[in-house]
């Protein structure tokens, strides 16, 4: 048996592939464009493993995807491929539209043809689309958490492009019958996350004695989900989710950004004391345009229907994450070179 994973060299995708192959002998065909955030080093432990095939490719190349589907005949396609950084989308929305909207369209077309013609509408086949809570917009302090029926209200080019991709997936199910599943997750954190996002950026800057840039007043709230919990949720939805349904995946860990940063500083003070508290490096910077105030996930549906709940508490997950980055300094140095460094120098004003 085979599954095809798109974007499987990125943060969540690579964690999923590693987690999958730790529990299964099923072949994984891993298609990744290998742009700045797609890193084969994330998958170094699988080198020489016959269960893992890496293909450098673009989900927008429909013909190439069709050839892979015909060759490997997967029982499922799990779509992680996406441009995902809000700051990047503000500076250059075009790549987000191309990958997240046009790319998803071509991927759906390829998968639809495979399902119709090659599998003769195989009832076991699934297309699982991985999305984000950002499609729902922003919550007030007292608003109820996002549920699967919350109206979409994306506020950034990134979230708008992901909302569009979600709508395409829904339409391909309702119009053509494609057996799809969609997950909308909260903020992921953990090993292998590219250091443009809040947690790895703060760890990296703190270790270098650099400023810890926090947007606005730092009180924007996110729900934090440890990446291996997200992987287990995706496996659960793939195995038992109802075709055509959406499942919200959250970590039950709402935190203000400044609270997360101060927690990181306290752990670093303990593990790598620097002579003065790392919190002294916190610097408040001008807020980014359209910065959503609060995200919160109501994950009642996935718990009620599929029995899934997160298993890693934030206090444990954040400590494991810091230790991973401390133990993998060479990985950090490598991914912070090249294109990322050029972009950072030109555009970056802080992540919150």
Which residue ranges in the chain fall short of pLDDT 70?
119-122, 338-352
Question: Is 158 a catalytic site residue?
Answer: yes
**Choice among 32, 58, 83, 158 that is catalytic:** 158
Question: Is 133 a catalytic site residue?
Answer: yes
CATH of domain 2-190+226-251+294-311: 3.40.50.720
pLDDT of residue 197: 92
pTM, whole model, 2 decimals?
Answer: 0.93
How many alpha carbons fall within 13 Å on the CB side of residue 32?
26
pLDDT of residue 344: 46
Question: Is 166 a catalytic site residue?
Answer: no
pLDDT of residue 283: 97
Burial class (CB in 10 A: 0-12, 13-18, 19+), 113: middle
Task: In whole angstroms, give the CA distance from residue 202 to residue 206.
Answer: 6
The residue assigned the tokens 């990958």 is 99
Q: Which residues contact 246 (CB under 8 A, 6 or more apart)?
A: 148, 166, 182, 183, 184
Kindly report the number of other CB atoms within 10 A of residue 311's CB atom: 12
- The domain locations on the chain are 2-190+226-251+294-311
pLDDT of residue 177: 95
- What b/e string do you get for 4-22 counting C-beta neighbours within 10 Å, with b at 16 or more? bbbbbbbbbbbbbbbbbbe
Task: In whole angstroms, give the CA distance from residue 221 to residue 143.
Answer: 12
Task: In whole angstroms, give the CA distance from residue 319 to residue 266.
Answer: 10
Helix axes 257-271, 314-327, angle to 10 degrees: 50
Strand partners, 297: 146
- Distance from chain centroid for Cα 123: 28
**Choice among 133, 166, 223, 292 that is catalytic:** 133
**Choice among 58, 66, 87, 134 that is catalytic:** 134
pLDDT of residue 37: 81
Cα dihedral 234→108→243→82 (10° resolution): 30
Task: In whole angstroms, give the CA distance from residue 37 to residue 83.
Answer: 9
Q: Which residues contact 66 (CB under 8 A, 6 or more apart)?
A: 110, 113, 114
């Amino acid at each position: 048996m085979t599954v095809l994973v798109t974007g499987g060299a990125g943060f969540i995708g690579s964690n999923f592939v590693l987690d999958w192959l730790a529990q299964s002998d099923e072949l994984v065909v891993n298609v990744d464009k290998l742009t700045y955030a797609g890193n084969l080093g994330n998958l170094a432990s699988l080198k020489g493993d016959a269960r893992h095939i890496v293909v450098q490719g673009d989900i927008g190349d429909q013909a190439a995807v069709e050839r892979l589907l015909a060759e490997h005949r997967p029982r499922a396609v799990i779509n992680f491929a996406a441009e995902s950084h809000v700051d990047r989308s503000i500076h250059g929305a075009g790549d987000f539209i191309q990958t997240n909207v046009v790319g998803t369209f071509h991927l759906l077309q390829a998968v639809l043809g495979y399902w119709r013609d090659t599998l003769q509408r195989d009832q076991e086949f699934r297309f699982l689309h991985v999305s984000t809570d950002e499609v729902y917009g922003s919550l007030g302090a007292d608003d109820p958490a996002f549920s699967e029926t919350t109206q979409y209200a994306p506020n950034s080019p990134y979230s708008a492009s992901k909302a569009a991709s979600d709508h395409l997936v829904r339409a391909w199910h309702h119009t053509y019958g494609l057996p799809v599943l969609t997950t909308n997750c909260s903020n992921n954190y953990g090993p292998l996350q590219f250091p443009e996002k809040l947690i790895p950026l703060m760890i990296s800057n703190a270790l270098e004695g650099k400023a810890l840039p926090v947007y606005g007043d730092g009180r924007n709230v996110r729900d934090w989900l440890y990446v291996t919990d997200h992987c287990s949720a995706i496996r659960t939805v793939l195995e038992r989710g109802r075709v055509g349904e959406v499942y919200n995946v959250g970590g039950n860990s709402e935190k203000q950004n400044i609270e997360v940063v101060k927690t990181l500083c306290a752990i670093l003070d303990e593990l790598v004391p620097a002579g003065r508290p790392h919190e002294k490096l916190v610097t408040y910077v001008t807020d980014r345009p359209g910065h959503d105030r609060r995200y919160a996930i109501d994950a009642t549906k996935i718990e009620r229907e599929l029995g899934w709940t997160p298993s890693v508490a934030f206090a444990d997950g954040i400590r494991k994450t810091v230790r991973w980055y401390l133990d993998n300094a060479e990985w950090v140095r490598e991914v912070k070179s090249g294109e990322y460094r050029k972009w950072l120098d030109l555009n970056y004003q802080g992540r919150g």
